[in-house]
Structure 1
């Protein structure tokens, strides 16, 4: 079923689309996943990422916020875990034929590094629009990069077809039990690192592999801990799937948090999530940018938008429910940020924190109108003007940034 992201919108921070399972476990055979997670070989290549406190954010929110630092993995993303978990189980004959995947980012690096470790040939199909820095990083790991397709769907079709033709094993980014189990080791580590009371774990959701794996472990050993997904308002495939009780396809998906910009969640992740997770929180692009800034202020690290998604969701949830004194964990899932996006993130961060607003107005293109406009709004804490003339409409568009007094606005 194809639906629009805007067909399901609710207030940021609200725990919406609580599935029928309600985080209770349902009928899912969690023991099989528990065994897979406990026996995973991810530590051949991955590290046990630290669980760091966030004192500044904790003080502001009145809760104890902990950050699970998956951005510190060798490829700066959790994706390495799932890729290696699956590839380490391949037979010698399968490894000899090689592997292939389709990805524009973190999964590609995970597969490439896993192939390097296992000594097998890897082909990585990436859309032609992939930034050079990303595909060159993959090439440096020894993989063969093929730039093909204008969209991810075209790239994936190429990869799957080539897998059939050459006998290669296709490594999916999230929809496979071994990939899910590899991602589930994040949950295993959190339980080990956080022995005391824990209210919730906030997990960024794209295809659903990470949250499915975490929930499969945590709900088996610490069922009282909430496992909460976080999605952008314009990339909410999991929230909509849970709402409709079936997997849906987004007609369009917002690409700002490109690491979670999927049109459809995986079949197996959805099966697990509808029984195990406690709901999904939705957040805005501005809130994500504000959390990127929070991370930088905490420890001078820069997250990619998808990497800061869980932080934004945790903050929105705590504010919405007035949570105080509890402990929450947010997974900082990746740090593969394109440098040229930092300017936009910086502009939107203050908007997300409600300290500035970006406003716009149209005025007739006549002599003296701009100075009159400035006299009207200039004294009200304007920090920046941008002026654009529209010759077709014979009017000017004025964008301006205005400082907001949060206490009185």
Structure 2
């Protein structure tokens, strides 16, 4: 590699070594995770950024950026856009440094996060339903009011502040560090850590972790240029970024070894893993690295001789009411639970015979509904030692003449159908079934219903909000054949994310 190519990394290394973070940040501990280590088969460590004063690593970069401002810049005040952790980092930094801060947050931001920022002395401006809308408004305010914009990730001083985590890691574990797993949103955290570690110990593997439905960095690295996602999954809201930064992308392209993708259930299982080790409850993005570490370790077949694996626990600003959803999905993510749909004959003794086939497995959920005079459908959750037990059980059920289907990876079944079993309506005709997501804010459900009131009858409706910024709806709408084209035009203009679930087997078995 030529000297010109290495210059940005050299500059960043100097920035990391001279970063001003410890006026507000702690050197977070590196703690062993013995329970997870035994299950994974290698030594696992947690880098506890969830123990920072604002329960997230974000204050490192925010403080370093603001501390390096000239006095005249600081006197103008700063502005940022954020739905949570970056906002609190900026607010704490400006409180410490004695300057004014304006934070633009989406209207959908939970009140607990808004109040946390206000408590730190920042002015909060609520604008838009998404981070993108809040970001655009913050840019406009910065231009008109002359404030300094503090970017959440695409700034070298911010990246350097986050890179001090890498500095600490080498001080805490100078030898035998095999791989570091880092959550990826805009890329500031992994860019800083990777630039430092790869410069000093290039043999350490740097592995980013993204949700499967918010994989902007993975897609960008594969394409060789920054990709903008049309839709971004919102469960791990701390990394829900539609496009990574320019500088973070270039640094990741040079220094990151690979990106691992994980799903919502795996994230929930990782939150449970961390709780069992530490009794701390992480936010979904905060547990992302643990989920990726587990997936990578299973794929690679690691052993005790593989070296030390470190997961960055990046944040613990969890909404309390989200925990019910996490608990509901954790065992599925650990692949220790399976959800099955089984059709049994409606005759005396068939129900008991089914239970005998299940054997001694613990039942986590059981829903039974008569489908017609000859058949009944069962929606059942079963504890498993591993998901490898599912196929033999399905084969055994089918050998006994029972129709059986694995719904463990069926999002509609897990999110909605399990709460609706028994809701069949045989007289409903021309029903179309969709899953919708819409921004959760006061009056949002009423607005959604107003949008749906266009002359088509709603035949099924199930709404769930599990503490996220978006509500989830499963809706059945009766649309006559002659209205199909008009209905499709209505959906396209609605402005909400939607998925057609008409072909979903869970719908056919339990609701159609």
Which range, TM-score by smaller chain?
0.7 to 0.9
Q: Deviations over 1:31-50 (max 9, x none)?
A: 11110001011001100000
- Give the corresponding residue for 1:81: 60
Which one of the candidate residues 248, 255, 275 is aligned to 2:254?
275
Deviations 1:259-286 (A, max 9, x none): 1111111110001000111011111111
The separation in 1 between residues aligned to 2:347 and 2:66, in whole angstroms, is 62
For the pair 1:147 / 2:126, whether they are aligned, the reply is yes
Equivalent-residue separation in structure 2 for 1:171 and 1:71 (angstroms): 22
1:231/1:397 CA distance change after superposition, 3 Å? farther
Do residues 210 (structure 1) and 183 (structure 2) align?
A: no
Answer yes or no: is the 8 Å Cα contact 1:45–1:114 preserved in 2. Answer: yes
Deviation at 1:386, TM superposition (A): 5.0
Number of residue pairs matched?
378
For 1:112 and 1:387, locate their aligned partners in 2 and report how far apart those are by CA, in whole Å.
52
Equivalent position SS for 1:34: helix
Taking the aligned partners of 2:254 and 2:89, their CA distance within structure 1 comes to: 28
Aligned mates of 2:140, 2:354 — CA distance in 1: 59
Mark the runs of 5 or more structure 1 residues left unpaired by the alignment.
1-20
Q: Which residue pairs with 2:428 in the alignment?
A: none
Report the TM-score when normalising by structure 2.
0.70
Cα RMSD of the aligned pairs, angstroms, is 2.4
The whole-number CA distance in structure 2 between the counterparts of 1:84 and 1:356 is 44
TM value normalised by structure 1: 0.87
Cα displacement (A) at 1:189:
0.4
Partner of 1:129: 108
1:274-313 to 2 correspondences below 5 Å: 274-313=253-292
Q: Give 1:307 deviation, angstroms.
A: 0.6
Q: Is the Cα contact below 8 Å between 2:80 and 2:138 reproduced in 1?
A: yes
- Map of 2:309 onto structure 1: 328
User: Hey, what's the Cα distance between the residues in 2 that align with 1:111 and 1:315?
Assistant: 32
Task: Extract unaligned runs of 5+ from structure 2.
Answer: 391-512
* Secondary structure of residue in 1 paired with 2:311: strand
Q: Tell me the equivalent position of 2:157.
A: 178
**Does residue 344 of the first structure (1) align with residue 325 of the second (2)?**
yes
Q: Deviations over 1:51-98 (max 9, x none)?
A: 000011111112111110000000000000111110001111111111
Contact 1:163–1:170 (CA<8 Å) still a contact in 2?
A: yes
Q: How many angstroms apart in 2 are the aligned matches of 1:327 and 1:338? A: 32
Structure number with higher relative contact order (C-alpha < 8 Å, ≥ 6 residues apart): 1
Higher Cα radius of gyration:
2
Counterpart of 1:30 in structure 2 is: 9
**Would the aligned equivalents of 1:28 and 1:275 in 2 still touch at CA under 8 Å?**
no
Give CA deviations for 1:350-384 in whole Å, capped at 9, x if unaligned: 11111112345799xxxx96998854644524321
Contact 1:26 1:275 in 2 (8 A): no
Q: Which residue of 1 aligns with 2:384?
A: 404
User: Partners in 2 of 1:71 and 1:45 — Cα distance?
Assistant: 14
- Kindly state the Cα deviation for residue 287 of structure 1 after the two structures are TM-superposed: 1.1
Q: Secondary structure at the match of 1:250?
A: coil
